[in-house]
Structure 1
Amino acid sequence: MQKLIIGTRGSVLALWQANHIKDCLEAQYKDIEVEVKIVKTKGDKILDVPLAKIGGKGLFTKELEELLLKDEIDLAVHSLKDVPVEFVEGLGLAAITKREDVRDSFLSFKYASLEELPLGARVGTTSLRRTMQISALREDLETQSLRGNVQTRLKRLQEGDFDAIILAQAGVNRLGIHKEVPYIVPLDFMIPAMGQAALGVECKKGSKTESLLQFLNDSKAAFETTCERAFVRTLNGGCQVPIGVNATLENGILKVRSILGLPDGTEILRECLEVQVKTLADCKRIGVQMAQEFLRQGAEKILQKAQNWEFK
């Protein structure tokens, strides 16, 4: 019997994602045994420093990619938003899965919404992107760095370290957190990170494993995230910079929202457009063009300022 080894981070959410792919593979191929192998990444080991300060690219993927190249694992399952836009030579995405809810979400034990938070309330998040959009809406709120897995973040929220925290709604749904926290509110105003709510399945290019994984690919998610990743690549950004972009494909029309700015919300660029698309190349072109317009408006200088941002 053939065996496939899935590499994954060890958090509860990462294990949910890896086991979801494991279940899909075992249902598709009755003659393949699938094993899940836990790997600690740099982003998992350094928890006392904001992510943006320890390097924004490959924090949660590098160690997994090294094992792929050594053939110690056959595939790696990532949150697509954590996957750098440039790959190590010889590796690539074999599949992008169907997306969960792409929105970010407000969570609190005491307050029913972001609007109901008192003046100066503490909001926990690791993300400069989220910090930027919260600050633009309510400059009085104090956003503070919140590292660790979902369970660690929920524990700190419950213990009163924060009045509210922001998580991806996809993770909330996948882990069934609705039973644990009384107030969970999806934030429609907030533009997500590139690739948010999709899983990226990475392996060696041209390998037998790559062909086995093709059935996992969702064409709608591929169209949307191709645009989003092209946008971020053109800006030379990553998952730890204050950039949000979300593409939605409906009936051949790609609607794209994007945002970029300083974490305190004082300098922000926004764009929204709708374009008919037929191919992945169309989606990539739209992402590039939107980013080029941001660059014409001074995006590079804003991102340089944001690199020196200090979380409280």
Structure 2
Amino acid sequence: MTGTSGAHRVITVGTRQSSLALTQTGQVIAQLEEICERHGLPYTFQMQKIVTKGDRILDVTLSKVGGKGLFVKEIEAALMAGEIDMAVHSMKDMPYVLPQGLCNGATTKREDPRDCLIMRSGSSLQELPHGAKVGTSSLRRSCQLKNARPDLKLEWIRGNIDSRMRKLETEGFDAVVLAAAGLTRMGWQDKISALLPQDVCVPAVGQGALGIECREDDEGVRELLHLLNDADTDLAVTAERSFLGALNGGCQVPIGAYASIIGEQDGLPMLEMTGIVGTPDGTVMLKEIKCGTDPTALGKDVAEALKAEGAEDILAQYGG
């Protein structure tokens, strides 16, 4: 496929096989089909499910599985082999450095980036009883909740979002922590007991946005994805991913970042970004907030400020 015209082409879209991944990918395909209809592009789409390492290993925490790209490597291998033409990822799963020959062709409009609580009873973090048992699969979430509520008993849970919610009943949790965006995409907003404000729990880098990965030399797919890209979300996620890259952070250290457009300066969007680095036990939580119009520079600036406050020592100690 070259340019925005030519012969019909079936575009194969790679995805994980969880219900959320399939739903997200279906929603992206629907958007692409609408774009193709609007622009008269002769493309149709088919979905290909791919099992990743992160999906296969469910009996240990992500931080112990090790490595980056636990939910994308097998999909990227299929992309490089030409077995698929693009891949839909939760942006928070994408490592900062992509394999040579691949690129992020589009960042979708962001859903609510916040984390949320699914609770047995109550409607806020403060309403959880003293010593409540809370399930999470994320060091970042665990660290920040321990920092806010040292009395909570954080325990690890893995699996897709519906299986994690079932554990609220089957394993006696008082609450589980999930990304609000996933529940929204599944149409399960009514299951959310409480949204965690960002001053309590800074989201993961890219949380709430989807990244559509493709081959750099596939001009037709790249042109198509350009029509899907949400410019404001792309700017914010670029800043967050620059922050992640500057810290060289992985799953072993609690790292979070959130950027948003708050206005403009000299005709350019002005971004505000919050970045955090903490210790896994939540006893140390470093936070920095900065503004800027260059997203890549902003991410690096926040990372450097946190390094100066001690983040480098935390990263060295815990193997980030």
Q: State TM-score, norm by structure 1.
A: 0.93
Corresponding residue to 1:283 among 272, 288, 295? 295
In structure 2, the residue matched to 1:153 is 164
> 5+ unaligned residues in a row in structure 2: which ranges?
1-7, 265-269
Partner SS state of residue 131, structure 1: helix
Deviation of 1:103 after TM superposition, in Å, equals 0.6
Structure 2 residue 309 is the aligned partner of structure 1 residue 297: yes
Corresponding residue to 1:135 among 131, 139, 146? 146
Corresponding residue to 1:11 among 14, 18, 25? 18
After superposition, where does 1:131-280 map in structure 2 within 5 Å?
A: 131-179=142-190, 181=191, 184-188=193-197, 189-207=200-218, 208-238=220-250, 241-252=253-264, 253-275=270-292, 277=293
Aligned residues: 301
Further displaced range: 200-209 or 158-167:
158-167
Equivalent-residue separation in structure 2 for 1:178 and 1:103 (angstroms): 13
Alignment RMSD (CA, Å): 1.5
Note if contact 2:291-2:298 (Cα within 8 Å) is conserved in structure 1.
Answer: no
Deviation of 1:258 after TM superposition, in Å, equals 1.2
After superposition, where does 1:4-153 map in structure 2 within 5 Å?
A: 4-30=11-37, 31-153=42-164
Partner SS state of residue 126, structure 2: coil
Partner SS state of residue 148, structure 1: coil
Note if contact 1:81-1:239 (Cα within 8 Å) is conserved in structure 2.
Answer: no
Q: Which residue identity does 2:30 align to in structure 1? A: D
Note if contact 2:139-2:253 (Cα within 8 Å) is conserved in structure 1.
Answer: yes
Give identity over the alignment, percent: 43
Equivalent-residue separation in structure 2 for 1:115 and 1:170 (angstroms): 22
Partner SS state of residue 113, structure 2: coil
Structure 2 residue 4 is the aligned partner of structure 1 residue 2: no
Note if contact 2:122-2:193 (Cα within 8 Å) is conserved in structure 1.
Answer: no
Equivalent-residue separation in structure 2 for 1:56 and 1:95 (angstroms): 25
Equivalent-residue separation in structure 1 for 2:240 and 2:134 (angstroms): 27
Note if contact 1:261-1:303 (Cα within 8 Å) is conserved in structure 2.
Answer: no
Equivalent-residue separation in structure 1 for 2:202 and 2:258 (angstroms): 6
Equivalent-residue separation in structure 2 for 1:264 and 1:111 (angstroms): 25
Q: Deviations over 1:46-99 (max 9, x none)?
A: 000100111241100000000001100000000000000001000010001110
Partner SS state of residue 29, structure 1: helix
Equivalent-residue separation in structure 1 for 2:85 and 2:123 (angstroms): 44
Equivalent-residue separation in structure 2 for 1:98 and 1:178 (angstroms): 18
Note if contact 1:85-1:238 (Cα within 8 Å) is conserved in structure 2.
Answer: no
Equivalent-residue separation in structure 1 for 2:67 and 2:151 (angstroms): 27
Equivalent-residue separation in structure 1 for 2:90 and 2:233 (angstroms): 13
Equivalent-residue separation in structure 1 for 2:15 and 2:201 (angstroms): 28
Q: Which residue identity does 1:187 align to in structure 2? A: L
Deviation of 1:111 after TM superposition, in Å, equals 3.2
Equivalent-residue separation in structure 1 for 2:132 and 2:319 (angstroms): 25
Q: State TM-score, norm by structure 2.
A: 0.90
Partner SS state of residue 85, structure 1: coil
Note if contact 2:239-2:297 (Cα within 8 Å) is conserved in structure 1.
Answer: yes
Note if contact 2:139-2:251 (Cα within 8 Å) is conserved in structure 1.
Answer: no
Deviation of 1:146 after TM superposition, in Å, equals 0.9
Partner SS state of residue 129, structure 2: coil
Q: Deviations over 1:243-287 (max 9, x none)?
A: 111001132221111111112211121111233x1xxxx110011
Deviation of 1:307 after TM superposition, in Å, equals 4.1
Note if contact 1:3-1:32 (Cα within 8 Å) is conserved in structure 2.
Answer: yes
Deviation of 1:26 after TM superposition, in Å, equals 1.3
Q: Which residue identity does 2:195 align to in structure 1? A: P
